[in-house]
Chains A and B, each alone.
Chain A
Amino acid sequence: AQTVTQSQPEMSVQEAETVTLSCTYDTSESNYYLFWYKQPPSRQMILVIRQEAYKQQNATENRFSVNFQKAAKSFSLKISDSQLGDTAMYFCAFMKWGSGGYQKVTFGTGTKLQVIP
């Protein structure tokens, strides 16, 4: 079974600064996908960024980028130029490509990020 670990329950960052959220996972799979989801106070889950395990290049979406280290099974999220709207719970998620096409997703326990003005 896959496990996803987010070791930072809470973090804070000053507005306009950069912050990195860590995530490690454990799997014996070779084909999988990794995601970061954001859950703001409204509790609506929003996909922030995704990474295919077969791609060596780190994914980037505007101010959000990842550092994907496959051998170390590490998938950290970097938020640059932090904004007040980035205040949210962030979940790291692992998705394997299962038989019959079902994608079983395992989520970490989340990191609560507070952006301070």
Chain B
Amino acid sequence: DGGITQSPKYLFRKEGQNVTLSCEQNLNHDAMYWYRQDPGQGLRLIYYSQIVNDFQKGDIAEGYSVSREKKESFPLTVTSAQKNPTAFYLCASNQGAPNYGYTFGSGTRLTVV
């Protein structure tokens, strides 16, 4: 079955560490997105990518980095510059037609310890 796989489901980070969240899709979607979800704030866009080797900052990109070397993969690195990284992170994709909306992964819960 086609879908988006996010791993790990839970991730713990020590202060000052960089961590990478994985997002893989087998839907052959061109566009991929990373959102951050915090209680009471909905989903906020971190980065997005429309094609391989190209990506753009979203609304809250500071302290994050991404790469898009393959169509299927869009990993997100949470750097030590992100001051409040504890959140739920969702990866999404869509196939370019706006009326289809997004397909989401199951998310990664990142906690700073």
Please classify how large the interface on chain B is, using the bins under 10, 10 to 19, 20 to 34, 35 or more. Answer: 20 to 34
Residues of A76-107 contacting chain B, CB below 8 A: 91, 93, 95, 97, 100-105, 107
Roughly how many angstroms separate A52 CA and B101 CA in the complex, as a whole number?
11
Quick one: CB contact mask for B86-98 with A, threshold 8 Å, 1 for yes? 0010101010101
Query: How many residues on A have C-beta within 8 angstroms of the other chain's C-beta atoms?
Result: 27
Quick one: CB contact mask for B4-43 with A, threshold 8 Å, 1 for yes? 0000000000000000000000000001010100001111
**Cβ-neighbour of A101 out of B42, B92, B96 (below 8 A):** B96
Roughly how many angstroms separate A44 CA and B92 CA in the complex, as a whole number?
11
Q: How many A-B residue pairs have CB under 8 A?
A: 57
Q: Answer whether residue B45 sits at the interface, using C-beta atoms and an 8 A cutoff.
A: yes
**Set of chain B residues within 8 Å of A9, measured between Cβ atoms:** 40
Roughly how many angstroms separate A93 CA and B100 CA in the complex, as a whole number?
13
A103-B94, A105-B45, A108-B42 known; A43-B99 Cβ under 8 A: no
Q: Answer whether residue A116 sits at the interface, using C-beta atoms and an 8 A cutoff.
A: no
Q: A32 CB to closest chain B CB, in angstroms?
A: 8
A42-B106, A43-B88, A103-B31 known; A91-B99 Cβ under 8 A: no
Q: Answer whether residue A22 sits at the interface, using C-beta atoms and an 8 A cutoff.
A: no
Interface pairs A-B: 7 shortest CB-CB? A45-B104, A107-B43, A107-B42, A109-B42, A103-B98, A35-B101, A97-B98
